[in-house]
Structure formats: C-alpha cells, structure tokens
Chain A
C-alpha cells in the first residue's frame, strides 16, 4: 500500500498561485469614475442586492486566513517557505520508511526502525507550533501521520507497569487508615467539663409552668 498524500488537505500548496492572482486583480479594480458618474468599484461590487462579487472574495479571504496559509507561503505569495519545504521533506522520509516496513504483518519492526524519523518529525512539528509557523497543510499531514502511527500501527506506548503503580497507590491509601486507627487508640479522648451556672429560685412562676404542662 502506498502512503499517498492524496487525501490530505493541500489548500496552501496548490492554490497559492491562483490566490495571488485573485488578490492582484481585486486590488486593481480602480476607483475611477466612468461616464455615468458611478465609479468602477461601485458598479462591479454593488451592482446587485447580494453583492456577490464582494461576498465571494470576502469568504475566500476568510478561508485563506483561517487555514493559516500566510504562514506557509513566503512574502508576496511567490513560493512556499523554507520551513514548509523542510517539513515536507521530513514527512516524505517518514512515509517512505513506513512503506518499506509495511509489507510484514507484524508492526513491531516498523515501530522500532521508523521511531527516530517519526520522533524527529514530531519534534519539528512542536517547534513549528511554538513559532507559530503552522498552516492547515502541515497540521493535516501531521494528523494523518499520527493516526497512522498510533492507530494503524499501534506503536504508542503500552501500559506496562500497572503493578508498581497499584502497589504504591495502595500503600498511600493505607497510610491514613493506620493514622486514624492509631490516633483513635492512643490519643486520649477530649472531654469537656460541664458547668452549672447560678440560676434563680423561681417559686412563684413554678405554678404558671406547671399549669401550662399539667
């Protein structure tokens, strides 16, 4: 099975030339006034209620901004940045490594051999994330690779040391029980001395109360 990148998102890579053209043309719409005293701009962009031309351009620009393609494509939109090209090279390396070991049914070989290249790729990706030089192409490619690595090839770390963790946890949980038992058995219980305050002899009101309750 070849690991093609056909299913990835390639917006920035494939479309930057066309987007550059679109931007140039749009910004060239002149402000000059024509014969009917209406400017070019108004007659093109505001000709109908929907303002279709304007809305479409606006949406395309939003998609460009959201996908972050500005970070992958160099100034002036003439070519991809060096970082992006370097990343693509590293990605191709990893994919070819996967392909080489793909034939065997058991993936343990793959996990061992391709580990360094994959780790390098991951670290490159984290660095780019911190520098904020990521765009949707790179993110999507990375996502796919990661899914391959973890889900298809099952190369992520298995849970090995359940036993020591359980042992330490049970020990920690046992400590408070010992603590409370020992304080119950060894500490002397706090007792309170009762005080009897001075009260008046109420002889005449005794009759009232007894009447109420008899």
Chain B
C-alpha cells in the first residue's frame, strides 16, 4: 500500500497538472497503439449488450490511433471511476517471514495478542467518548456565548429601533465562526469536509481513501465541527463523530503516531491493513454510540457497512468499544454538569425520555405511519436530487479553496438572515411554560410574558429544537410557523450539505422531519376532533423525523436500532422499522441515499454487496487487465527499479512467475509481490550478492516491513547506484507464495464474490496451465453496474 508522492484529495480540488510531477496515466497516450479497446462511443455509457456489433479482433487503425493519442476530456459526472483510489491490503501476505513468525509465537503469545485486541478496543471507546464530551462542552459554551450576545443586542434594539444592526451582527458572527472552520478544512485538510460517513463507508468497503485516518484529519474535523455548529449552520455534530472514532481507532491500534514521530513500541503486530480495518470498524461503532447514545446501533452500523469480513469475536469486541464509548461520555458529561454519577446523557443527542403511558400508539395509526414513511421517502429523494445537482455544480465550478471558504461564509450569513427574517415577521407569541426550558427566549414584539415561538425553533441549536418538537405539549406550536420553518429549513439544509466544512446531516434531517411530523399530527387532531388527545403531536414528530432521516440516508437496520435506543423505548421499534422500510422503498425508486450519491460523485470504486444482476455473461477474461507486468523469481534490480519508476503505469501488485526462456511466453504463477514490499527490499538493499556479507548483519524481518507501514517512501526517494542495478534480488522469501487465482472462464459474479468476501486487492487470472494471463483489481470489478438499459460500464478518469 504505497503512498505515492502526489497529494491526493477527496474534495473537488483534484491534482492540477501544473504542480508536481506528471500525474501517472494508466496506459495513456503512449501505449495507445498496442491496446485494443472496445469502446469509442461518444457518450459516457457503454452498452455491453451491443458488444456483438463491435468486432473485438480488429486491429486499431490509424484514425482511431489519433483519437486515442489525445485523452478524451469530459466534464465531471457521476459515471466515472477515479484512478487515485486503491484497495486496502486486507488479505494477508503469508510469505516465509510471516510463517516463521507464526511458528515462533507460543500459545501464550497468541493469548496476549487476543487480550491486547480487547485492550485496544476499550481504549478506542474511552478516547472516542472523551472526544465527544469535548466537542459537546465546547459547542455548548461557544453557541451559548453567541446567542447571549445576539439576544442582548436584539433586546436592546427592539425598543430603540435599529434591528437591522442585530441582523448584521448575527450574520457577521455566523460568518466569522464558519470562516474559521472552513479555512481549516479547505486549506489544511480537505478530506475532513462533509460528515465523514461516506469516507468511512468506503474505508470499510476496502477502499483506501488517502489521508482519511490521520491525526491531522482528526484535529481539523473536531475544530471544524465545533465552528460549524457554533456558526449556526443547518448541520449536526453527530456525523463527524463517526469519522473521529474511526481516526482514533486507526491511530490507537498502531501504537505509534507517524505524524508526531513517536513510537511507543507496542501493538506492533497490528501494523497491517487487516487489523487496522477491523479496528476502524470498532472506532466507527464507538463514534455512532457516542453520537446517539446507541451502542447496539453502532455495532449494527459497522455491520451494515462492512459485513464482508465479520466474525463473532469481532462483533463482541466492537460492542465492547461502543459500550465503553457511551459510558465514558455519560460519565464525563455528568461530572461536567455537576451531577457525578447521574448518567443521563448517553449520547451527544438526547431525545429525552418518551414516557410509556403518554406515547402509546394504536393499531389504526400504523397505516398513517406508513403514509408518513412514504412522504419521508419522497421528500428525502427530493433532497438528494437537489443536493446532487448542487454538488455537481460545486465540483465543476467551485473548486478553488478561497471560493469554497467564501461560499461557506455566504451560507452562514444567509442562514442568519433567513432565521432573523422568520423571527421578525412571525406574529406567533406563546407564553413560556414551566417545563419548556427555552434557553434564549426572545420576546421581540410579543406581549410581555410571551415569547416569539419562531425563535424557539430558529434561535437554538438544532438538537434542542428537535427535543422541543418531540416533547412540548400540544398547542405550543402554530401550524403556520411549523410549515414556514419546515420549508425554509429544508432548503437551507440541502444547500448546506456538501460545503467545505465538517458537518453532519443527521440532525437537520431529523429537525425537518420532526417539524412536518408535528404539523401532520396537529392537522390530524384538527380533522378528528372527536377526542382531542389521541394524536399526540410529539409522537408524530418522532415518526416524521425517522421518516425524513430514512428518506435521506436510507439506512434501515442500524437507524431503527439507533432511534429505538435514543428514545429509550422499544415500543416504537415496530412503527419506526415500518416507516424506515417504506421510506427506503419509496426513495430508492427515485434516487439513492445521500451518502451513496456522494460516493458516486467522488468516483470511488465502491463494491456493492453483489455483482450486478445479468452479469453472468461476463467472464474473468473480459474483466481483467492484460498483459500483466510480472517479475521473475530472481529479478535484476535495474528491471525492478525501472518498472516501479514507470509513471505511465501505476501498478501496485506484480505476479511472480517462473523463469521465462522466451519473453513472449506467459510464465507460470508462483507468487505475488507488492510494490510496498519491493520498496522496503530496495531500501534495505536485500540483494543476492550481498547475502554472504549480510550473514554477519541482521536478516530482514517482518518488523522492517511493519516499521515502514503505512507511509512507504516513494520509489523516487530510493537511490540505486549503477552497480547495484546489475545485482539480482531473490523474491522467494518475501513474496506471497499462495495468491488467490481464478481460471479465465470464471463468471463475473463468482470473481466478485471472491474478491469482496476476502477483501482482496489483486486477483490473478490464470489459464489451464497455471500461467498468468491477467490481473483483476477493484477498478476492473467496480466498473459494472446495472443501469436503465442493462449492464453498463463506467469509465476510468484522472481526478
């Protein structure tokens, strides 16, 4: 898993060709003449069904040559795959070094390893809980200061006039906070933008997103989310917790910090992608658990996203991490609030307790809930479609960092303006009840003793507004207020997601859903005026929140459990599950979930659960890349260095074949070696000629490979002299002698299943004599998906 020199980014800010070295193309212009491609269609979509009309055997003629020599450029769209994403090395390379280490480890050693895995998971939970606690406290204080200042200003100017100054003050405060957060993200670490859930989904899928689990990312993310929420944007702080949990897991499990250059010399066995990915799923679960107070929901979230490598012990450890996380958060927050041991804040979002007697639902309400679920699905699809077009616009046109910061500031100012205008023009005044704990009640133009109820929705952190919508007694909200609020907040939230700030989308969508859910409940109670008490609007607010959230993110199992745990009432399990299923079915008819949309827009080679249907007609032969660059078992150093330094092909895995007499023949497979392993060998100069002199020195151990992980030096930094180029290198000890292979005639679904279930990075395709004919990587498999007209193929692009 070699990190090459160039700085790659998740955001729309791709690599400018002007800076750095030339970006590697995969068989671009120079090798055009040799390759026989299959498609020259003008559009981006290639129909497999029409393959019969294309003669695969024809040689490329000259006109096509010239077309190929200029790589085609198209505006960014969602049907592209980017070259910069590699797979994780989840599959273990069982070379001789590894087998020796395993033989040397005693039974006690294995037991110690198991125990240390548990210790690491506990630590992950503890640290994630602490980070969540920190975020919560700082946001509360910062937002409190801001609202206090604005409130005093408004109260002062209500009497003497000049409220437009209050508006400007509010907008400026918002912009300043958001500018700080946005500058950190846009200039220092663009991968920390957004909620982080798409990135972690991809990581658990096995894609190596560059820089996603670094310490710098964590710092920028925490700071960014604090600034975004304090800046009053229509965002939540729960999504970024998942990303933070994952980073904590990736960092703690390695026992060292590469950024801070400190090595604690523990957990050295875990310095591989296999262990790291398992710990990252524990970290993601701990993040969910800290965000919502839902440990089981966290485990199920990790399960839903990365279940291809599941086993029971892993589930148990992840559950342990989740529990530690929520318990730590609860404990430290109770200390902060002065009630040590109170343990009433299990998560960052607290929905409040739904008392069993006041929130019963009847059987005849279930169809109503299903209708609300369908409505949530439709609204969620609308949200996703609008956000999709906005994101495409942003990727194509707003890709410079200064523009991104400016856009974020503008959104913050407009959010303040819209909130202020709504509060100003609202005539809805309500007296303040005793149980409604409004922190910053605004009186504005209401009678004394009454407060502006629009302000209770807008002039608050979104979490508190959600809680009020769930629990306020019937009659606290005016239907018109709620309707206007829903509409404006919907568009604000849709506009805000995708900005270059760290922000989540869970709470805004819940707030939108709670608002229209409550409205629905109020309308129901006016229609059925027989008994005034049966539709409790708070219950409908909860169902509406679940419906809207399900319609936007389309998570089913984990979201049900999260909501059930967060409301503390299993009674609601059935309605919430029905609502989420309905929302998903209805929404999937129009467009995918928000996170999947963003994953597609970032051109990530994401592998779904199964190969697309109707793909049995494709075999490994059509899918693979061929011919393959391979090495002999004993290879000349110069050849190796040249192939590794070749910038036109960015291969990371090379089959190792038996000695070839004739170079046009294919060699028989005897192993697989990775670029990262070759670089370590070159760095330590493990040459055959040096073997005798090295007998006095130490032989190369697995530890040397682990020390270089994860940031392997690029080939350009390895200096090989002319004499050394003539030396030979023996790859037998270090290669993986038993790579997974498939025959050429294997169907695509079968190849897909093997690749996905085992978490492979390279799959060697052999013919019936075990000779290497091709190599299947993630990009080859992820190209195929089922479109409107049958099986379609996505194209590879430079991003």
A-side interface residues toward B, CB under 8 Å? 122, 142-143, 146-147, 149-151, 156-161, 164-165, 167-169, 172-173, 175-176, 179-180, 183-184, 187, 189-203, 205-206, 208-210, 212-214
Contacts and interface: CB of A to CB of B under 8 A. Distances in A.
A192 B622 contact: no
A200 B410 contact: no
B396 A196 contact: no
Contacts of A194: 71-74, 795-798
Given A146-B447, A160-B161, A169 B52 contact: no
Contacts of A200: 621-622, 624, 626-627, 773-774
Given A147-B447, A173-B414, A195-B25, A165 B421 contact: yes
Interface of B: 12, 14, 25-28, 31-32, 34-38, 49, 51-52, 56-57, 68, 71-76, 80, 83, 158-159, 161-164, 167-168, 171, 393, 395-400, 403, 406-407, 410-411, 413-414, 417-418, 420-421, 424, 445-450, 617, 619, 621-622, 624-627, 773-774, 779-780, 795-799
A214 to B, nearest CB: 6
14 contacts: A146-B447, A184-B393, A184-B397, A187-B403, A189-B396, A189-B397, A192-B80, A192-B797, A194-B72, A195-B795, A198-B35, A202-B622, A205-B622, A209-B617
Nearest to A211: B52
Nearest to A213: B52
Nearest to A176: B410
A156 B163 contact: no
B73 A191 contact: yes
Nearest to B17: A193
Given A190-B75, A190-B396, A194-B795, A199 B626 contact: yes
Nearest to B158: A157
A135 to B, nearest CB: 14
A194 B46 CA distance: 14
Contacts, number: 183
A165 B422 CA distance: 11
Nearest to A151: B447
B600 to A, nearest CB: 14
Contact of B625 (A151, A165, A199): A199
B167 A169 contact: yes
Nearest to B780: A197
A193 B799 CA distance: 8
Interface of B is mostly: mixed
B31 A198 contact: yes
Contact of B68 (A159, A187, A196, A198): A196
Contacts of B25: 193, 195
A196 B27 CA distance: 7
Contacts of A158: 445
A194 B448 CA distance: 67
A195 B27 contact: yes
B75 to A, nearest CB: 6
A193 B76 CA distance: 9
B52 A210 contact: yes
A187 B396 CA distance: 9
A200 B745 CA distance: 13
Nearest to B31: A198
Given A173-B414, A200-B621, A195 B83 contact: yes
Given A167-B164, A187-B397, A198 B75 contact: no
Contacts of A151: 447
Given A194-B71, A200-B624, A209-B52, A187 B398 contact: yes
